Amino acid sequence: MKDTLIIIPAYNEGKTIGGLLDQLLNTDASRFADILVINDHSSDNTKEVVSSFGSRVILVNHVFNQGYGASLKTGYCYAQRRNYRYVIQMDADGQHALINLSRMYDRMTKEGAPDILIGSRFMEGSISFPISSAKKIAITYFRFLIKRSTGGKITDPTSGLQMLNQRAFGYYAGYQNFDLKYPDANMIIKMLLLGYRIEELPAVMYAREEGKSIHSGLKPILYMIVMCISTTSVMLRYRRKKRGQGID
């Protein structure tokens, strides 16, 4: 067994998932990583496309649609039970260039590596695509939220391209440790407050060619409101826990 598991949540990605898996199996990533696709009860042919790869790709099917966060949690639990050292989470829509994977692996397997490595679209050396004004506002707000609450600087808090070591994804796999609905800036804040080390790496990303992003249209603005509530909840629980430790 390889030491890394690539986790790909997929919901109605039948048009893109086949091409992505075919490329993954023919890149350097296949040297160090197994591939796990979590089919979140898609209504299209996602299950059939992934199944066509046979034993080369691990497939887990949710019996009902649970959402992006729950799909990631399934991947974390799978990786923990099978004792992988690292996980890489990436999207099924082809936005994350596969060249990122080897770069992330090289960084995470060196001395002094962080617990979580985020692929950023906004660092020097990164290559990305234009994003909407609404999403720019949301990203700027999330950066402020992270800086204000933890002192940390994260340039791309909504990036779905991340690599985690066993300590980090093992924590996420624990009961109620991971947000099953909206895992985003709130989880970055939580992990920083808990003392986990997070770094970013310049990433190459492409525009989605098929389907619709979960952050399309005005959704980023509504997402800001949800994230503000979620982040407040994270910080209140953290402060309550610290006070409790002080009493003990």
**How far apart are the C-alpha atoms of 92 and 95, rounded to whole Å?**
8
Q: Is the dihedral of CA 108, 32, 36, 45 positive or negative?
A: positive
List, for residues 65-123, the tens digit of each pLDDT value: 999 999 999 999 999 999 999 999 999 999 999 999 999 999 999 999 999 999 999 99
Condensed to tens digits (0 to 9), the pLDDT of residues 145-155 reads 899 889 999 99
Mean pLDDT of 125-147: 89
Q: Give the pLDDT mean for 38-63.
A: 98
Which region among 129-133, 194-198, 239-243 has the lowest average model confidence (pLDDT)?
A: 239-243
| pLDDT > 90: percent of the chain | 72
Specify the pLDDT at position 112.
96
**Tokens describing residue 166:** 């066993």
Is the pLDDT confidence value at 171 over 70? yes
Q: How many CB atoms lie within 10 A of CB 67?
A: 17
CATH number of the domain bearing residue 229: 3.90.550.10
Q: Which region among 9-23, 162-176, 210-224 has the lowest average model confidence (pLDDT)? A: 210-224
Section 161-186 average pLDDT: 94
Phi, psi (deg, nearest 5) at residue 98: -70, -15
Euclidean distance between the first and the last CA atom of the chain, given in angstroms as a whole number? 43
At residue 247, the pLDDT reads 44
The yes-or-no verdict on residue 142 having pLDDT over 80 is yes
Report yes or no on whether pTM surpasses 0.95: no
CB-based contact 117:108 (threshold 8 Å): yes
Asked if 166 and 5 count as a contact pair (C-beta separation under 8 A), the reply is no
Q: How far apart are CA 13 and CA 198, in angstroms?
A: 29
Q: What's the pLDDT at 109?
A: 97
Check pLDDT > 60 for residue 212: no
E-only strand ranges, 105-191: 116-120, 162-165
Number of domains in the chain: 1
Which candidate, 213, 39, 23, places its Cα nearest to that of 101? 23
Residues in contact with 165: Cβ distance below 8 Å, sequence separation at least 6, in sequence order: 85, 86, 108, 113, 114, 115, 116
